[in-house]
Amino acid sequence: MTGSVVGQGKSAGGVLRAVWWPVALAAAAGAGAELAGTALLATAAWLLARAAQQPGLAALAVAIVAVRAFALLRGTLRYAERLTGHRAALRALARLRERVYAALVPLAPGGLPGWRRAQLLHRMVTDTEAVQDLVVRCLVPAAGAALAGGLGLVVLAALSPSSVPPLLAALVGTGLVLPACAGRHRRRTAGADDTAVAVTATDLLDGAAELAAYGAEPAALAAADAAHADRAGRERTEARVAGLLTAVGIALQGLAAASATVLATRAGGPAVAVVALTTLVALEPSLALPVAARRLVDARAALRRVRAVLAAPAPVAEPATPLPVPAGPVEITIRDLRVRYADDRAPALDGVSVDVRPGSRLVVTGPSGSGKSTLLAALRRFVAPAAGTIRLDGTPLDAYAGVDVRRLIGGVGEEAYLFDTTLAANLRLGDPDATDDQLRAVLRRVGLGDRFAGELATELGQDGSTLSGGERQRVLLARALLADPQVLLLDEPTEGLPAADADRLLRDLLTATAGRTTILVSHDPAARAHADQLLDLGAAVGPRQISRSCRGAAS
């Protein structure tokens, strides 16, 4: 039951191999608990039947002690199985989620074609929990059922060999046939889109204002209702099938117990009661296997989806032996840079050349689609150049690890996000060790000292919904300044603001970043007057003209 799952690739196999020892302990403890339960009921049945014959107390002493011992052992092993199994499952789950997040970090800035945000959230939360299901709801129950059934056959073979065939037939039915039927039925529906409900719910929440503005609410609600109805219909079908299989399993259990008991009457005495109860107990764990089979199908489908995320090629290859990034102010040299997102698409950048001196301010302008954000993505190693070079102090950028480059070159992206938590928590993403005094100081630098004086616990809402557009950009800048990158990137910080607010924000931005190497992407003409260098991507039709459009402010 486990081999095909562990072989699903590093999405499941790696994390399960890392916790194989606690998983094996949990399976052994669970199986031991089932064995102790079987032995408890068998011994208790023998004790009751033997006591009815009124023997001497000495004849019952061993059985009495055994009943107590098996009862204590069963509880202890069950607790150990729960503790060890869940600990291993949660450890595997945490490791898998770390891998998924690490895989998404380099992919997300360049976009994830074919995956929507709600689908990725489903991969990160629900699909990764398949590892937990594998351990707790598949591996451990299967091991317990196998050992309990095996012990039951051994007991019956010793007491009444003629009672073995009914138990064996029932074990085949409940342990193999019914799980196979459950798995086969589940595979028929496993290909359905289980993220449709999440996608429609996310669209309704995120696009509520736009849906209301354009009168599209009825259509959106109808789509959500259809997704919910489809999901509910499939779940009702699953419930009916599960109920039917459970009923068949219980019927097989009862039939096997009755048949084994009748056949054991030839032996007579306490053996009859022992055979009856042993048959019932030996079959009890296998009644859960149809549910485990459905979980296994779901887990394999979920892990295939997770594996697709992990297997997605990173847009930028990491160096085998990355160099340490320069410690001091760096000079950035870009020569004939070309960036292409796909072989069949035109270059997003073509022939860009510029030198960014330490402490200088480069303003990048150009119409939408001219490659401004692509240039910043290339500087942060989110996209790889198709041609040309980017160098830090003369060393190619691809000689450094991406995470080190992003510590050195950081800032505020066009789609920078504020989390639904306090102002202090959002700011400390830039520097987790920053004190409250440091937070207040950086807020004063970006012009928010009066707005949030003594109110670091202010809740910002989802993506800063409690802030104005200008306040949101200032908080993002404060967070970037706390991170203290050598080179600060600002992508359209005044986008969407009224002219007066944009001018005021731009002045505060330039004041707060004075003396720091800054690359500012802006449509605002006022930004040009403050540039040490200007790179106008929209003025270029070829590599040389792009190179010439980079000039000193004095020229």
Does any domain span residue 325?
Answer: no
Q: What is the CATH number of the domain that holds 62?
A: 1.20.1560.10
Question: Which pLDDT does position 278 carry in this prediction?
Answer: 83
In a shared domain, residues 304 and 367 = no
Measured CA to CA, the distance from residue 81 to residue 75 in angstroms comes to 10
DSSP assigned state of 329: -
**443 Cβ contact partners less than 8 Å away, ≥ 6 residues apart:** 427, 449, 451, 452, 478
* Tokens 């499952």 found at: 89
In a shared domain, residues 80 and 144 = yes
Q: What is the CATH number of the domain that holds 352?
A: 3.40.50.300
Residue 8, CA distances (Å) to 12, 192, 398 in order? 6, 20, 32
Q: Which domain holds residue 423?
A: 332-552
In a shared domain, residues 47 and 158 = yes
Measured CA to CA, the distance from residue 530 to residue 273 in angstroms comes to 94
Measured CA to CA, the distance from residue 426 to residue 471 in angstroms comes to 13
Measured CA to CA, the distance from residue 253 to residue 323 in angstroms comes to 66
Query: With contact defined as beta carbons under 8 Å apart, do 51 and 64 qualify?
Result: no
In a shared domain, residues 251 and 163 = yes
Query: With contact defined as beta carbons under 8 Å apart, do 263 and 192 qualify?
Result: no
Query: With contact defined as beta carbons under 8 Å apart, do 82 and 29 qualify?
Result: no
Task: Output the CA torsion sign for 244, 250, 253, 259.
Answer: negative
**Model confidence pLDDT, tens digit, residues 457-507:** 888 888 788 888 778 888 888 888 888 888 888 888 777 667 777 777 777
**Model confidence pLDDT, tens digit, residues 239-283:** 899 899 999 999 999 999 999 989 888 766 677 878 888 888 888
Does any domain span residue 317?
Answer: no
Pick the last residue of a domain from 246, 277, 311.
311
Does any domain span residue 172?
Answer: yes
**373 Cβ contact partners less than 8 Å away, ≥ 6 residues apart:** 413, 414, 491, 521
Number of H helices, E strands in the chain: 21, 10
In a shared domain, residues 356 and 417 = yes
Does any domain span residue 252?
Answer: yes
Does any domain span residue 457?
Answer: yes
* Tokens 């009751």 found at: 48
In a shared domain, residues 303 and 338 = no
In a shared domain, residues 301 and 163 = yes
Structure token digits, residue 329: 């102010």
Does any domain span residue 206?
Answer: no
In a shared domain, residues 279 and 371 = no
Query: What size, in residues, is the chain?
Result: 555
**Domains contained in the chain, number:** 2
Pick the last residue of a domain from 277, 311, 345.
311
In a shared domain, residues 400 and 519 = yes
In a shared domain, residues 106 and 231 = yes
* Tokens 């150009």 found at: 366
**Model confidence pLDDT, tens digit, residues 430-451:** 888 888 888 888 888 887 777 7
Does any domain span residue 246?
Answer: yes
In a shared domain, residues 304 and 431 = no
In a shared domain, residues 300 and 369 = no
Measured CA to CA, the distance from residue 90 to residue 78 in angstroms comes to 18
Q: 309 burial class (0-12, 13-18, 19+ CB within 10 angstroms)? A: buried
Measured CA to CA, the distance from residue 405 to residue 403 in angstroms comes to 5
Does any domain span residue 214?
Answer: no
Structure token digits, residue 485: 């990158």
**Model confidence pLDDT, tens digit, residues 516-527:** 888 888 877 777
Would you give per-residue pLDDT tens digits along the chain (555 residues)? 433 333 334 445 566 666 677 777 887 787 788 778 878 877 888 888 788 878 887 778 888 898 899 899 989 998 988 888 888 888 888 888 888 888 877 776 655 666 777 777 777 777 888 777 777 788 778 887 888 888 889 888 988 899 999 999 999 999 999 999 999 888 887 655 567 777 788 788 878 888 888 888 888 888 888 888 888 888 888 889 989 999 999 999 999 999 998 988 876 667 787 888 888 888 888 998 999 998 888 888 888 888 888 887 777 888 888 888 888 788 899 998 888 877 777 788 888 888 888 888 888 888 777 788 888 888 888 888 888 889 988 889 989 888 888 888 888 876 778 888 888 898 998 888 888 888 888 888 887 777 776 678 888 888 788 888 778 888 888 888 888 888 888 888 777 667 777 777 777 777 777 778 888 888 777 777 778 888 888 764 343 333 334 444 433
Give the CA dihedral 163, 169, 171, 176, nearest 10 degrees: 170
